[in-house]
Amino acid sequence: MNSRQSFIAKFYPQKIIQSISKKIKLLGISYPYQAIDLLNIRIFTCLFLFCTIILFLPFGYVLAPIITIMIYFIIEYITLDKPIQKRKNRLEEEAIFFFEVLNLNFDAKKNLLVSLEQTTSLIEGELSDEFKKTLSETRLGKNIYESLKNMRERIPSSTINQVLLNLMEKENHGNQIGQTISQQVEYLREKKLQKTKAAISKLPVKISLISSLFLIPFITLMILAPIILDYYLP
């Protein structure tokens, strides 16, 4: 954090900065903004909105506080909470294949570092990039246990974090974790299947709503057409 950001940070409670920073970590290594950037965007947006409502809307002095508070929380949801949930879903989809390949490397009696290096070299994706970041930290002198611990702070999925915890235990105690990882992969696969089933079950409702939007005006027009024609035509 540079000196300018350090000065601005004094205006925000540390608890809020830490909360936003924690969420930013969950968006991964490629996320370009810091906590202070998002806090500034949110506060200036809300101030601009508050002033605009006060000046240009009837009863603005009543509406401004209500709308501004709503927007204050909506901004955090749109910029952080929703992207975190989407990233969690992406990572869990990637994790199924990634951990299957990693397990194959364990079955070949390769150690943790070699297994991770070979798996990340074969697989592209966001989860693979996170592991590449972890491996790069070990090359700079940090032990793999600490690197995996840091990686857990960047992963929003509790299931993937459980696998990372298993990898940490393997590194510390030499535990055999192939079966445990297989169980987590099976859980992710089942979770994906349930999401697919839920999406399919919602299709009839969506189709019905779309059909209603198009059919009801058309049927109404057919019913009213003779009356309208009789009224306007001699």
Q: What is the pLDDT of residue 155?
A: 96
Return the number of other C-beta atoms located less than 10 Å from residue 226's C-beta.
Answer: 9
Q: pLDDT tier at 67 (50, 70, 90 boundaries)?
A: very high
Contact status, residue 23 vs residue 31, Cβ threshold 8 Å: no
Beta-carbon contacts of residue 136 (< 8 Å; ≥ 6 apart): none
Q: Is the pLDDT of residue 81 over 80?
A: yes
For residue 45, CA distances in Å to 35, 57, 87, 221 come to 15, 17, 25, 45
- Tell me what pLDDT residue 161 has: 94
**Nearest Cα residue to 20 out of 10, 29, 30, 33:** 33
194 vs 175 pLDDT, higher one: 194
Interatomic CA distance for residues 119 and 99, integer angstroms: 9
pLDDT at 106 (0 to 100): 86
Tell me the three state secondary structure of residue 141: coil
Which residue is it, tokens 């009863």? 59
Cβ atoms of residues 160 and 97 within 8 Å: no
**Contact (Cβ atoms closer than 8 angstroms) between residue 96 and residue 185:** yes
The pLDDT tens digits for 118-128 are 999 999 999 99
pLDDT confidence bin for 225, thresholds 50/70/90? low
**Who wins on pLDDT, 87 or 222?**
87
Helix axis angle, 35-56 to 14-25, nearest 10° = 110
Whole-model pTM: value is 0.80
Residue 219 confidence (pLDDT) = 73
Question: Distance between CA atoms of 26 and 15, rounded to whole angstroms?
Answer: 17
